[in-house]
Chains A and B, each alone.
Chain A
Amino acid sequence: GQQVMQIPQYQHVQEGEDFTTYCNSSTTLSNIQWYKQRPGGHPVFLIQLVKSGEVKKQKRLTFQFGEAKKNSSLHITATQTTDVGTYFCAANAGGTSYGKLTFGQGTILTVHP
């Protein structure tokens, strides 16, 4: 089945530092979604990327979709303690399984004040 690899598994930063997590697939993706899960919480949808080379921004968060639609990244500028949590990428299976998501392993972000 479809797999998405996400790195790093953990990232510890000082408040104010930048953070990036990467998601890679061996196959071309129809789209990719990003979710954030706060400690003790449930995943919350952040954004979806569909087009090759697409870049979207949400305040300090920048999301990119690779030209080949096989990789994606989430970059946070000047992290804050409110950014703490696990960030997941999720690939849409497409075709007859459209709507079904395959989640990456997630990157656990810790921000030290």
Chain B
Amino acid sequence: SAVISQKPSRDICQRGTSLTIQCQVDSQVTMMFWYRQQPGQSLTLIATANQGSEATYESGFVIDKFPISRPNLTFSTLTVSNMSPEDSSIYLCSVDGQVYNEQFFGPGTRLTVL
């Protein structure tokens, strides 16, 4: 299994600002995913990030709002741009497992926008 770390673990931000979340994996992985999860709710996929190509965004999510970088096989960032209180959520990165295509999740970043 992969060990994943995320920074920051939590943050409180002012509306209109941007926050970049980092996701670091202890091994090289092909696919990385970014999710959003409201407390008590399910996980909503924001985008899939493969190294060397543009991220693929799900319906309702756009690159201008959630730019993603994937500079190598162990690292990715998600930026939440021009934040509003509606962006308050937990953001999770995950990576594709090697056995079952299961996903291993990072601990999440709890974002509060005031």
Checking B103, B106, B107 against A101 with a beta-carbon cut-off of 8 angstroms, the contacting residue is: B103
A33 to B96, CA, bound (A): 13
Tell me, rounded to whole Å, the shortest Cβ–Cβ distance linking A73 to chain B: 18
> Is the CB–CB distance between B59 and A103 below 8 Å?
no
Query: Which one of A31, A42, A99, A103 lies within 8 Å of B31 (CB-CB)?
Result: A99
Given A101-B45, A103-B43, A105-B42: A48 and B31 interface contact (C-beta under 8 Å): no
Q: B residues 45-73 with Cβ under 8 Å of A? A: 45, 48, 59
Given A88-B42, A100-B45, A101-B45, A45 and B101 touching (CB < 8 A)?
A: no
In the complex, the answer to whether B48 meets A100 with C-beta atoms within 8 Å is yes
1/0 per residue, CB under 8 A from A, across B71-114: the answer is 00000000000000000000010001100111111111000000
Complex: A43 Cα to B42 Cα, angstroms = 10
Contact B101 A99 (CB under 8 A): yes
| B92 pairs with A42, CB closer than 8 A | yes
Min CB distance A89 to B, Å, is: 10
Partner among A48, A102, A103 whose Cβ is within 8 Å of the Cβ of B100? A48
Give the CA-CA distance A105 to B107 in the complex, in Å.
20
Bound together, the chains give a CA A41 to CA B39 distance in angstroms of 11
* Alpha-carbon gap, A48 to B48, bound state (A): 21
For B96, give its contact among A48, A88, A99, A103 (CB under 8 Å). Answer: A99
Identify the B interface with A (CB < 8 A): 31, 33, 40-43, 45, 48, 59, 92, 96-97, 100-108
Complex A-B: 18 CB contacts under 8 Å = A1-B59, A33-B102, A42-B108, A45-B100, A45-B102, A45-B103, A48-B102, A88-B42, A90-B103, A92-B101, A99-B31, A101-B33, A101-B45, A101-B103, A103-B43, A104-B42, A105-B42, A106-B42
Given contacts A98-B101, A99-B48, A101-B33, 7 further A-B contacts (CB under 8 A): A41-B107, A45-B97, A48-B100, A90-B103, A92-B101, A102-B45, A105-B42
